[in-house]
Amino acid sequence: MLSYILKRLAIAIPTLLLLIIISFVLMHSAPGGPFTAERELPPQVLANLNEKYGLSDPLWMQVGNYVWGIVTAFDFGPSFVYKDRTVNEIIAQGFPITLTYGLLSFAIAVLVGVSLGVAAATRHNSPLDYAAVGVSIGAQVLPNFVMAPILVLIFTLWLRWLPGGGWQGPEYWIMPVIALSTSFMASIARITRSSMLEVLTSNHIRTARAKGLPERKVILRHALKPAMLPVISYLGPAFVAMITGSVVVDIYFSTGGIGKAFVDSALNRDYAVMMGVTILVGALTIFFNLVVDILYGWIDPKIRY
C-alpha cells in the first residue's frame, strides 16, 4: 500500500510541474503583457517594471525562479495588478469560502445521491424507482449555470425567501450549494442505482439472504460496499467539475471564492493570480485523485498494487 502511494506521488509531482510549465509558457508567449494598457507607458518605465517583476530574464530562468519560490517558500509571487497584494493573500481570502460551499455540495451530492440510488435499487420498478430515475435524468441537463438563474428566479424574485447573492451567513450558502450539487447528485444516484441492481443479483447477497439476515443488514453491510466502486471512480472527475463550477457560483452569487479571483485575474491579465489559482486547483485535483485511488484499493481487495 505504502509503495503504491509513493508510486502515485511519483506521478503526481511531474504532473504538477508540467502544469506549471505549460501555463507559464502559455502566458508568456501570449501577445500583450500584464502592463499593456490603454495609455502606452514610457519605455523606461516599462523596462523598470519588467525588471522588477523579473520579466526581462530569459524564460527558463523565470520558470526556474517561479518553481523555486513555490517549492521552498510556498510563495506564488506578487500580483501584477494589485501592487500591494501577493497572490497568496488573494487566494487565502477566497479559498475558505470555496472550500465551505464546495465541501458542503460534495457531501450533499454524495449522501443524497447514494441514498436515492439505493432506495431506487431496493424498490426496483416501484413508483419510487421511476421517480428517482426521472429526477436524475432531468437533473442531468441542469448544470450549475442553468440551476443558478432558475434558483434566483424562484427563491429570490418570486418567493423572496433567500438573498440573491453575497456571503454573510448560512442562508447565503443554500442556493450556491444546491446549484453546485444538483447535477452531480443526479449522476451519483444513477450510478449507484445501476451498480446496486447488479450487486443485488450476485451470489454473496443470495447467501446473506439465505442465512436469514434482515434485509437492512444485507443492503448496508454486504451490498453497499461493492456497489460503491463505480461511484468512487466517478468522484474524481466530479470533484474537478465541481471546482470548475465554483467559477459560476462565485460570479452569479457574488460569493467571493477563488473562482472570482480567477475570472477577475483573467480579465485583468493578472498572470500571477491566474497561475496561482490554476496550480492550486491542479494540486487539489491530483491530491483528490490520489485519495480516490486509495479508497478504491481499500474497498476492492482484488486490486493489487
Which is closer to other proteins, CB of 182 or CB of 285? Answer: 285
Q: How far apart are CA 158 and CA 231, in angstroms?
A: 36
Q: How far is the CB of 194 from other proteins (least distance, A)?
A: 11
**Binding status of residue 274 toward other proteins by CB under 8 A:** yes
Which is closer to other proteins, CB of 148 or CB of 231? Answer: 148
Q: How far is the CB of 206 from other proteins (least distance, A)?
A: 23
Interaction with other proteins in 104-143: which residues (CB under 8 A)? 137, 140-143
Residue 206, CA atoms < 13 Å, CB-side half-sphere: 4
Classify each residue of 242-259 as buried b or exposed e, where b means 16 or more C-beta atoms within 10 Å of its C-beta. Answer: bbebbbbbbbbbebbbbb
Q: How far apart are CA 147 and CA 74, in angstroms?
A: 37
Q: How far apart are CA 295 and CA 208, in angstroms?
A: 25
**Binding status of residue 193 toward other proteins by CB under 8 A:** no
- Kindly tell me which residue out of 263, 294, 296, 297 binds other proteins, with binding defined by CB under 8 A: 263
Q: How many residues bind other proteins (CB under 8 A)?
A: 45
Q: Which residue has the cell 501577493?
A: 86
175 neighbors 252 (Cβ within 8 angstroms): no
Burial class of residue 265 (count of CB atoms within 10 Å of its CB; 0-12, 13-18, 19+): buried
300 neighbors 41 (Cβ within 8 angstroms): no
Which is closer to other proteins, CB of 54 or CB of 149? Answer: 149
Interaction with other proteins in 56-115: which residues (CB under 8 A)? none
**Per-residue x/- marks for other proteins, 240-259, CB under 8 A?**
x--xx--xx--xx-------
- Kindly tell me which residue out of 262, 272, 276, 293 binds other proteins, with binding defined by CB under 8 A: 262
Kindly report the CA angle at 274 between 84 and 288, in degrees rounded to 5?
Answer: 120
Stretch that binds other proteins, among 17-25, 46-54, 168-176, 194-202 (CB under 8 A): 17-25
**Binding status of residue 26 toward other proteins by CB under 8 A:** yes
**Binding status of residue 4 toward other proteins by CB under 8 A:** no
Q: How far apart are CA 216 and CA 221, in angstroms?
A: 8
* Closest among 81, 89, 83 to 271, alpha carbons compared: 81
Sequence length of the chain is 305
Estimate to the nearest angstrom the gap between the alpha carbon of 30 and the chain centroid.
27
Stretch that binds other proteins, among 45-53, 55-63, 92-100, 260-268 (CB under 8 A): 260-268
Q: Which residue has the cell 491579465?
A: 269
* Closest among 22, 30, 86 to 53, alpha carbons compared: 86
Q: How far is the CB of 42 from other proteins (least distance, A)?
A: 25
**Binding status of residue 266 toward other proteins by CB under 8 A:** yes
**Per-residue x/- marks for other proteins, 140-169, CB under 8 A?**
xxxx-xx-xxx-xx---x------------
- 283 Cβ neighbours under 8 A, 6+ residues apart: 16
**Binding status of residue 181 toward other proteins by CB under 8 A:** no
**Binding status of residue 205 toward other proteins by CB under 8 A:** no
Which is closer to other proteins, CB of 153 or CB of 220? Answer: 153
| 38 grid coordinates | 490603454
Question: Which residues form the interface with other proteins (CB under 8 A)?
Answer: 11-12, 14-15, 18-19, 22-23, 26-27, 30-31, 137, 140-143, 145-146, 148-150, 152-153, 157, 240, 243-244, 247-248, 251-252, 262-263, 266-267, 269, 274, 277-278, 281-282, 285-286, 289
